[in-house]
């Protein structure tokens, strides 16, 4: 048994969609969440610059006692997960767009993927598409302004709804019957995305699968908390205490 916390890292608020699933799936596990906040969003920044932010976050999580770290950020996973696994002594779980289940279940043979520009333009995205989606048409779309809207807490405004409509309608019109959320900020917009997509189109959030993967690794490495352990939740940020307090407040509402 190991009552040390699970570490969760994201560029900002988005990883709370993963935090929510971890808390639901693993109620005895403490979690320390690091939301950068100072440098969000990552999707338009150079990889080398983002890598320095990721290393800072990982060191903070390890200093907080993290026994396993979830990179709850698709861009961070793409840039750093292989190097982190080779460098640090704890298991890492990364995010990837849920192309595999979408491709396996599509009836129309067309799936849409909403992600950041960096993720869509990466070799990593191309490898996933080639590996899991042979014979399926994949239509990528950038969630322009999605991350910023979630960071500002503006998921339900008319301006955000227009951003969502501009990104989602072309996917629906092209025949997609699955829309994959390829950024952890996007599940906070899932209800509006589904409404714009229309009936018969499934919106796929990878967070539940990530929680199951974490549970599996905790079991494999005998890192589970004691069943009677009272979980606690800690929030850290490169942007300082005010942003960490915003993370805590938002988490309390999930």
3-state SS, 190-245, equals HHHHHHHHCCCCEEECCHHHHHHHHHHHHHHCCCCCCCCCCCCEEEECCCCHHHHH
Q: How far does Cα 135 stand from its chain's mean position?
A: 27
Give pLDDT < 70 ranges for the chain. none
Residue 21: predicted pLDDT = 97
Residue 241: predicted pLDDT = 94
Residue 134: predicted pLDDT = 83
107 φ/ψ angles, rounded to the nearest 5 degrees: -100, -25
Sign of the alpha-carbon dihedral angle for 119, 120, 126, 130: positive
Measured distance CA(137)–CA(80) in Å, rounded: 28
Residue 96: predicted pLDDT = 83
DSSP-assigned states of every residue in 37-55: -SS---TTS-HHHHHHHHH
Average pLDDT taken over every residue of the chain: 94
pTM assigned to the model: 0.91
pLDDT in tens, 164-213: 999 999 999 999 999 999 999 999 999 999 999 999 999 999 999 999 99
Q: Give the CA distances from residue 14 to residues 86, 165, 220, in Å, rounded to whole numbers and listed in that order.
A: 26, 20, 27
Q: Give the CA distances from residue 153 to residues 55, 60, 150, 187, in Å, rounded to whole numbers and listed in that order.
A: 27, 26, 5, 13
Do the Cβ atoms of 145 and 165 come closer than 8 Å?
no
Q: Are strands 31-35 and 6-10 parallel, antiparallel or unpaired?
A: parallel
Catalytically active residues are: 73, 183
Residue 97: predicted pLDDT = 83
Q: Are strands 6-10 and 68-71 parallel, antiparallel or unpaired?
A: parallel
Q: If we measure between CA atoms, which residue out of 63, 25, 32, 24 comes closest to residue 247?
A: 32
Residue 27: predicted pLDDT = 96
Do the Cβ atoms of 18 and 219 come closer than 8 Å?
no
């Amino acid at each position: 048994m190991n009552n040390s916390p699970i570490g969760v890292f994201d560029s900002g608020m988005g990883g709370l969609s993963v935090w929510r699933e971890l808390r639901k799936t693993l109620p005895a596990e403490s979690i320390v969440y690091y939301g950068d906040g100072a440098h969000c969003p990552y999707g338009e920044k150079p990889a080398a610059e983002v890598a320095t932010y990721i290393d800072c976050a990982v060191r903070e999580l390890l200093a907080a006692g993290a026994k396993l770290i979830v990179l709850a950020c698709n861009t961070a996973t793409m840039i750093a997960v292989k190097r982190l696994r080779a460098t640090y002594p704890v298991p890492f779980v990364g995010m990837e767009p849920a192309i595999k289940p979408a491709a396996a279940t599509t009836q129309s043979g067309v799936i849409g993927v909403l992600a950041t520009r960096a993720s869509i333009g990466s070799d990593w995205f191309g490898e996933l598409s080639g590996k899991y989606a042979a014979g399926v048409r994949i239509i990528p779309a950038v969630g322009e302004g999605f991350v910023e809207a979630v960071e500002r807490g503006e998921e339900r405004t008319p301006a955000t709804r227009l951003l969502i409509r501009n990104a989602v309608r072309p996917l629906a019109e092209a025949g997609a019957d699955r829309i994959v959320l390829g950024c952890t900020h996007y599940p906070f917009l899932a209800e509006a995305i589904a409404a714009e997509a229309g009936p018969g189109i499934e919106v796929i959030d990878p967070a539940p699968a990530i929680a199951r993967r974490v549970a599996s690794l905790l079991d494999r490495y005998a890192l589970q908390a004691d069943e009677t352990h009272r979980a606690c939740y800690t929030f850290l940020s490169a942007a300082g205490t005010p942003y960490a307090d915003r993370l805590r407040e938002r988490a309390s509402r999930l």
